[in-house]
Structure 1
Amino acid sequence: MSEPVSPLSPAGDRHFDGLADKFAASLYGGARGELRLALLDRLLPEMLDLRGQPLLDVGGGLGQQADWFAARGHAVTLAEPSGEMLAQAREQLAGREVNVLQAPLQALPELAPGPWPLIVCHAVLEWLADPRGALATLAGLLSPGGQLSLMVFNRDALRLSNVVKGNLEKALADRLEGRGLRKRLTPISPLTHGQVEAWSAESGLVIREMAGIRVFADYLRQPPESDADRERLLALEQRYCRVDPHWRLGRYLLYTLQRPIRPPEETTA
């Protein structure tokens, strides 16, 4: 029997050709996906200075965020390495004037160098073999004063989720990341807040805003069944998504990072 073809790219990144339908169903097809989008709908205007700037959506996937920004007057370029994901994104974006580019993050300094006043990179770094280098690449694409909306899969939340499920040995051994094989959708590089802090500083970026996405929902024993309970859950998420310590255990961590107009040594001189 032949070995299955690896979904990893030559760089070791997880792409989603052959998995676009499963990705759509698992990440957006249920209540958790709806909750994620509802929280972003509120948080993005709060956490970003939005003035209709041109925008680069990195790893834009199925096109939901590109659609959101295009509807608000931004000239959007969506970059995504998976042809299957792009096909679904084009359906999502039908009628929108969005520039679509099939390319991995590593190719963007050549194919979409900018500099960009606004970059969105949501739920991408955790699927890359070198998320640290990827963040440095994104920083290099920003214009002075430019903003990066970064969302990453939270390693600490993944640990707690495994404990809640009874996977105590796995949590103790810190075997949390996926291997990128077959059709499992556990990220290969889940990140901690400490890593985001350190790598942002290395790349010359300043953290302006922070929030947790789904700080409660993923730990419920049973998902809410009634509309009233779903509304209560959304209200709880909205109330505590930016409150310490709750935001730190969101399934995803959402940041606004900014490239200073002047380097730190100039601003303190």
Structure 2
Amino acid sequence: MQRIEELSEEGDRYFDGLVDKFARSLYQAPRGELRLAMLDHLLPQMLDLSQQAVLDVGGGLGQQAAWFAKRGHAVTMTEPSADMLAYAQHWHAACDELSSQVITYGQAPLQHLADEHPGPWPLITCHAVLEWLGDPRAALASLAALLAPGGQLSLMVFNRDALRFSNALKGNVDKALNDRLEGQGKRQRLTPISPVTHDQIAQWSADHHLTIESVAGIRIFQDYLQHPPTSDAERDKLLALEKQYCQYDPHWRLGRYLLYTLRKPETVI
């Protein structure tokens, strides 16, 4: 049986020993399928894509690296979990659509990227990573430093406000009232240890001279449905609803994930 890592020395959550759970619970389930479908819909709208080099930070099982590689980008995928990285490499090698693409891999936590993959990078993706770190604010500062002037950061974070709302709906009123929302990073539990709010992202971005160019909510309706879709037609209708309102205020604010495009200025005054 694989050993399941808990918190690192930096207070971060890695996922050695949890590859099967991730693949089954997050990507082979309706919520994972919808998340990937929404990224496929939103990324071409929210990013300036010109086949530029991409640094995929905390790339997990490799879905995002594959998405960019299929579109002609030179991708460097980094991931601290050896298990996750091995899964991604094996999957990419077996994928016919990636046979002519080159993806570079690096086993490294975000805190070491300035030494191992300094760039500067014209495009960085960091999806569903900050919420698993002990210090997400410092992580955003590190990402800003890796960006090239004029470069874009595609940042997706687990939304603390949506987690509070979800807990209240489930009857966990005391937890919501006292804002005790963080997971503990133990065993196979997948509640993020550092869920963040939009206001935090806005403030941290401003602190490091990053401009929020666009924002969208992902899974803004799905997690609150009393009767989840059971047919392809119902799933298609839900996806259409998510697409229609994912960037409309107030709906995007309750997305389970918030997706941002952040831009570094050409020059910092």
Inter-partner Cα distance in structure 2 for 1:165 and 1:125: 25
Q: Distance in 2 between matches of 1:87 and 1:5?
A: 15
Q: Aligned AA for 1:51?
A: S
Contact residue 26 and residue 32 of structure 2 kept, 8 A = yes
Distance 2:24 2:180 in 1: 26
Q: Any idea what the Cα deviations from partners look like across 1:165-224, whole Å, max 9, x if unmatched? A: 111111111110101011100000000000000000111111001000010001112210
2:96 is matched with: none
- The residue number in structure 2 matching 1:176 is 181
Q: Does 1:82 align with 2:87?
A: no
Runs of 4+ in 1 over 4 A off after TM superposition: none
The aligned amino acid for 2:204 is W
- 1:95-110 correspondence to structure 2 within 5 Å: 95=99, 96-110=101-115
Q: Which amino acid aligns with 1:112?
A: H
Structure 1 residue 245 corresponds to structure 2 residue 250: yes
Q: Where do residues 96-245 of structure 1 align in structure 2 (5 Å cutoff)?
A: 96-245=101-250
How many pairs are equivalent? Answer: 261
| Alpha carbons 1:67, 1:92 under 8 Å: kept | no
Displacement after TM superposition at 1:97 (Å): 1.1
SS of the residue aligned with 2:14? coil
Q: CA deviation at 1:20?
A: 1.4
CA contact (8 A) 2:5 2:14 kept: no
1:17–1:84 contact (8 Å) kept in structure 2: yes
CA distance in 2, matches of 1:159, 1:143: 35
Q: Are the structure 2 counterparts of residues 249 and 180 from structure 1 closer, same or farther at C-alpha, using a change threshold of 3 Å?
A: same
* Distance in structure 2 (CA, Å) of the matches to 1:160 and 1:23: 24
1:254 is matched with 259
Q: Residue 13 of structure 1: SS of its match in structure 2?
A: coil
| TM-score between both structures, scaled by the size of structure 1 | 0.95
Q: Distance in 1 between matches of 2:4 and 2:14?
A: 12
148-157 or 89-98: bigger deviation: 89-98
Percent sequence identity is: 67
2:113 match: secondary structure: helix
Kindly report the root-mean-square deviation, in angstroms, between the aligned alpha carbons of the 2 structures: 1.1
Shift of 1:92: 2.4
User: 2: CA distance between counterparts of 1:240 and 1:34?
Assistant: 18
Look up the equivalent residue of 2:196 and give its one-letter code: L
TM-score, structure 2 length as denominator? 0.95
Q: Any unmatched runs of 5+ in structure 1?
A: none
DSSP-derived class of the 2:216 partner: strand
Q: Deviations over 1:99-142 (max 9, x none)?
A: 00000000000000000000000000000000000000000000
SS of the counterpart of 2:241?
Answer: helix
SS in 1 for 2:43: helix
Report the 3-state secondary structure (helix = DSSP H, G, I; strand = E; otherwise coil) of the residue aligned with 1:147. strand
**Which deviates the most, 143-152 or 94-103?**
94-103
Deviates more, 1:19-28 or 1:241-250: 19-28
Paired with 2:261 and 2:181, the residues of 1 have a C-alpha distance of 26
Q: CA deviation at 1:91?
A: 2.1
| 1:26 to 2:25 alignment | yes
Unmatched 5+ residue regions in structure 2?
94-98
